[in-house]
Structure 1
């Protein structure tokens, strides 16, 4: 396994994904990914299969979109309903919610401060239940096509990561793939404007407050600004930096995957703050851009704990659940 491990970033494994993609060391890569997911819920993948030029192009489109005047961006408005996660959200519109169990009762704990970020979200173009919301024709031509192409490129990498998870668990490599057709994923472009370093430090404002993702897995591309932090699973409340790693795709497990895996895989709380080594200008933290791709199963799926995650001595902790019921509730709680 050591040959596929390229390093460690504050406890998160950096894994070479190429030997999985070319078949030369699939089991070793799968084991390394699963180990990192079990320990901390995150992994960095190098040689992940998403073309570098396409990534650069998508970041360029993101910067062009967010550079538009507010009145232009608001011509593709995110609906008031949190269950329709499409279109543009202005800074402060969304406030993340952390999903917790208290005395076995499911509760949503809302963040104290609004997130100072803006976002644009899109999904499967033919999703009649959650149609995309684009800018009017003639404004930023080519943006829609770039987003749609990138969406499906990310889906191909999603499927490979899901195959690695199931191989690591010792079950058929297409076990999770058959539930994930890409119809309910979400591509999000994120821009964190330059803000006061002092206000961030004093938590008067937030970039993204502490939360966990709620789907199957999340693929994350980030620029080199830094600021992503992951909670130490063994020390709640203690966060460690998940710094940018050149050429890496960050992948983390979501709450639904943790439940699906009978808590074998961790869905870890994370947040975005000002990096400790941030170079401020006149007391301001520079802009940050990132592109998360949130992966969810088909909403019609009813799932139960994965084979290989339970035994007679360690039975399933959770009954079967509808993916649609779970995910739509989590979407609605963010607005």
Structure 2
């Protein structure tokens, strides 16, 4: 086994990203990441570039935010429409759906599920005019805004490095993918799943996050040690496997836009959040869970078309070109 390959968890490869970052083994690490995306759509990365103290600090800020009274959190309210994805969403406000675009069908799904059993806070870059940030009023939880923006830009550097790795993996010219992500149309999300009866989770009476795929190019996920994330088994559609937390790692997955870009060479794998596996509790309650995903999207103004080398006469393009913004907003509108 190569020194950068640290094993696997539920068939998701665990890769040391350091040899790519320091240049000591860029090509093999890049190919390994691409291979993992081809196989499962996911990869665990260690030595990824975000310091552990920054990750720990962001989780502490997340806990402080969600510990505020609901009325305080609602001082930074998420708008009622999904296309302005910023601010605080209360429990049940969002219901993630998979490619359901008809408004009437969306209403039926939300009425059936009651919404996801989670609360969240979203932010992006400060100069985003399409989706301006929605913060708590000045003086409420001082330091929270600065911490979120600091972590947002740290994650941005990591996703650009991963895009550079995919350029190497696909044998693309340097900068081919990163040039489509220069506007930083990205989103940092803080998530809190409250403690709920385990039996209700197992019977699907309560849903933490329904099965879905991500919209954009790449998602980074930092999770606590509770667990509950599951990914669909590519070999057994409809069957899910736990993506158990690996200490010191972040989980990275490819989104629908990246799969589209790659002409489906890369998988955008359906995943969900359920009761953690092998959970033993005295009171029958699943513990609360915190996670921090970072969603990287292509520039809204740029057109996404299949990458060079991913199509041929024998394997034609599966998708028509589409602007990053049009695709993203179409998908985002289905969530609220």
Q: Which TM bucket (shorter chain)?
A: over 0.9
TM superposition shift of 1:176: 0.7
Counterpart of 1:289? 290
Counterpart of 1:11? 11
Q: Secondary structure at the match of 2:45?
A: strand
Aligned-partner Cα distance in 2 for 1:62–1:195: 19
Q: Is the 8 A contact 2:100 2:334 kept in 1?
A: no
TM superposition shift of 1:182: 4.8
Indicate whether 1:158 and 2:159 are aligned. Answer: yes
Aligned-partner Cα distance in 1 for 2:306–2:183: 21
Alignment RMSD (CA, Å): 1.5
Q: Secondary structure at the match of 1:55?
A: helix
Aligned-partner Cα distance in 1 for 2:129–2:42: 33
TM superposition shift of 1:282: 1.1
Counterparts in 2 of 1:86-125, with a 5 A limit? 86-99=86-99, 110=109, 112-113=112-113, 114-125=115-126
Aligned-partner Cα distance in 2 for 1:228–1:173: 34
The TM-score, its normalising length taken from structure 1, stands at: 0.96
Counterparts in 2 of 1:16-165, with a 5 A limit? 16-99=16-99, 110=109, 112-113=112-113, 114-165=115-166
The TM-score, its normalising length taken from structure 2, stands at: 0.95
Counterpart of 1:329? 330
168-177 vs 282-291, which deviates more? Answer: 168-177
* Per-residue Cα deviation, 1:90-124 (whole angstroms, up to 9, x for no partner): 110000010279xxxxx979475221000000001
User: Which structure 1 residue ranges, 5 or more long, are not aligned?
Assistant: 102-106
Aligned residues: 330
User: Which structure 2 residue ranges, 5 or more long, are not aligned?
Assistant: none
Aligned-partner Cα distance in 2 for 1:307–1:4: 28
Cα distance change of structure 1 residues 41 and 317 upon mapping to structure 2, 3 Å threshold: same
Aligned-partner Cα distance in 2 for 1:92–1:245: 29
* Per-residue Cα deviation, 1:163-202 (whole angstroms, up to 9, x for no partner): 1112111112311100112531010000000001011011
* Per-residue Cα deviation, 1:137-169 (whole angstroms, up to 9, x for no partner): 001000000000110000000000011112111
Aligned-partner Cα distance in 1 for 2:100–2:21: 36
Q: Is the 8 A contact 1:13 1:43 kept in 2?
A: yes
